[in-house]
Amino acid sequence: MKAVVLAAGQGTRMRPLSESVPKPMLPVADRPLAAHTVDAAIDAGADEIVLVIGYEGETVRDYFGPEYRGVPVSYAVQEEQAGTADAVDAASPVLEGPFAVLNGDNLYDPAAIDRLFDACPAVCAIEVDEPRNYGVLSTADGSVTGIVEKPDEPPTNLANAGAYAFPAEAREWLAVPASERGEHEITDVVARVIDEYDVTPVTLERWLDVGRPWELLAANEWHLAELDGRIDGDVSDDAHLEGEVVVEAGATVEPGVVIEGPALIREGAEVGPNAYVRGATLIGRDAEIGHAVEIKNSVVSRGTSVSHLSYIGDSVLGRDVNVGAGTNVANLRHDDAAIEFTVKGDRVSTGRRKFGVVAGDGVKTGINTSLTPGLRLEPGATTMPGETVERDR
Ligand code: TTP
């Protein structure tokens, strides 16, 4: 079966991280987010991957190339991000036979994708506590009987998890009219398939829709927790590693470093001397974590430097960020309330008691900067020495 992986979205809710790196290419453990989806499709037996690209699509194409893990990869360009059905429609010229559709920004438990392919026509579903926030499936006698977006009175607690195995005929049904929010939505295609076919709900054990920066942190927590420790890099005898820690070839861990896994130190990264890395943490390629830096439950993207005397907790640092000496991140409010973050102009709850900052690519902090919880720093933003930053910039 061909698997269409949707990766053309602008990822506006993921800003500032998606400003230059498209969301599907943001790092989740040792590969981009969308590679986890593509891997799940290949493991389930997909014989071709069709990636729908658009926003910053060349980065996606450069990563996967014409063949990935021995499976051919083709690309369909969606000129304008007009919705998920429109995205699949962009791929329709290369579709024949039954086909699967997966969101390139969702993490699925791979075993369920296997079951999805076997059960075609089928839709992946996940049990959720608040179905009102999702597309909700109704079921009867083991089949899906309906799908409704964000209903006031959800018929079940089964949310649509954005993974579908469609019959060949669905290719003819992709040109659905625009919804109220002006997008051509795949749920309308699913509704048609449900009308015409017996559609099986395939329940996922675990699923994560990675739309906002703290969900990228959660995605890394998920995949870093699955690491098997491995030392391929250069680790000093005077460093102390415990838990599952991966040090890739070409990475260096210097004397006095303590790493409590799960942690992944990628190729070219330098940690130490005397740094303290606590899980779940990803130290990206060519990043530098220096003397007397404590870093915990964070994502540090490639080329970023936290060279001395800093604390970074529950944060995501974009590429080529430079953290000045003595910069400290606060990740907890005195009142213990959930930390909020700015998404498309609104402050929304992350649902996390601990959350630090999200710094876009190229941010530079002056020495002794204090950063308050839930800050959003745009790409290239700077702070002055000694500053306490309480508002996004
Ligand atoms: P969304 O998360 O709804 O859209 P997005 O990724 O652009 O993010 P945001 O809402 O923050 O701007 O999309 C779900 C999946 O579908 C995701 O993998 C991107 C993909 N997609 C397309 O490929 N084309 C589109 O036109 C849209 C809307 C989404």
Q: How much is the mean pLDDT over the chain?
A: 96
For ligand 1, atom 8, the nearest C-alpha belongs to: 11
The per-residue pLDDT for 107 is 96
Spacing, Cα 11 to ligand 1 middle (Å): 6
Which amino acids are annotated catalytic?
308
Spacing, Cα 209 to ligand 1 middle (Å): 11
For ligand 1, atom 7, the nearest C-alpha belongs to: 9
Give dist(CA 125, CA 201) in Å, integer. Answer: 6
* Residue whose entry in the numeric block shows the structure tokens 């040792």: 30
Q: What share of the chain has pLDDT > 90, as a percent? A: 97
| pLDDT, tens only, 3-60 | 999 999 889 999 999 998 999 999 999 999 999 999 999 999 999 999 999 999 999 9
Return the domain boundaries, the chain. 2-211, 223-389
The per-residue pLDDT for 231 is 98
- Name the pLDDT band for 181 (thresholds 50, 70, 90): confident
Taking the CA atoms of the chain, what radius of gyration do you get in angstroms? 22
187 lines ligand 1 (CB under 6 A): no
Spacing, Cα 137 to ligand 1 middle (Å): 20
324 lines ligand 1 (CB under 6 A): no
The per-residue pLDDT for 308 is 95
> To test ligand 1's pocket by mutation, which of 78, 80, 84 has the most ligand atoms within 8 angstroms of CB?
84
Phi, psi for 30 (deg, rounded to 5): -95, 10
| pLDDT, tens only, 57-102 | 999 999 999 999 999 999 999 999 999 999 999 999 999 999 999 9
Q: How far is CA 85 from CA 64, 103, 193, 259, in A?
A: 23, 12, 13, 45
Residue 365 has pLDDT above 90, yes or no: yes
18 lines ligand 1 (CB under 6 A): no
Element (H, E) at 117: helix 110-119
Greatest alpha-carbon span in the chain: 65
Return the DSSP state at 157: S
Question: Does domain 223-389 sit in CATH 2.160.10.10?
Answer: yes
DSSP lists the bridge partners of residue 231 as 247
Q: What is the mean pLDDT of residues 273-295?
A: 98
ipTM rounded to 2 decimals: 0.97
Where does 2-211 sit in CATH, by number?
3.90.550.10
179 lines ligand 1 (CB under 6 A): no
Residue closest to 99 by CA, chosen among 163, 53, 36:
163
Residue 290 has pLDDT above 90, yes or no: yes
Ligand 1 nearest-atom number relative to CA 9: 7
Residue closest to 220 by CA, chosen among 263, 265, 250, 253:
263
> To test ligand 1's pocket by mutation, which of 37, 61, 105, 149 has the most ligand atoms within 8 angstroms of CB?
105
Q: What is the mean pLDDT of residues 239-254?
A: 98
Residue 291 has pLDDT above 90, yes or no: yes
Residue 149 has pLDDT above 90, yes or no: no
Spacing, Cα 53 to ligand 1 middle (Å): 11
Spacing, Cα 179 to ligand 1 middle (Å): 15
| pLDDT, tens only, 342-363 | 999 999 999 999 999 999 999 9
The per-residue pLDDT for 2 is 97
Return the DSSP state at 344: T
The per-residue pLDDT for 8 is 96
User: b or e along 17-53 (b: 16 or more beta carbons within 10 Å of the residue's beta carbon)?
Assistant: bbbebbbbbbbbbeebbbbbbbebbbebebebbbbbb
Give dist(CA 60, CA 312) in Å, integer. Answer: 29
- DSSP states of 188-256 as a string? HHHHHHHHHS-BEEEE-S-EEE--SHHHHHHHHHHHHTTPPPEE-SEE-TT-EEESSEEE-TT-EE-TT
56 lines ligand 1 (CB under 6 A): no
Ligand 1 nearest-atom number relative to CA 5: 18
215 lines ligand 1 (CB under 6 A): no
Q: What share of the chain is helix, strand, coil (3-state, %, to 5)?
A: 20, 35, 45
- DSSP states of 42-87 as a string? HHTT-SEEEEEE-TTHHHHHHHH-SEETTEEEEEEE-SS---HHHH
The per-residue pLDDT for 180 is 87
Spacing, Cα 37 to ligand 1 middle (Å): 14
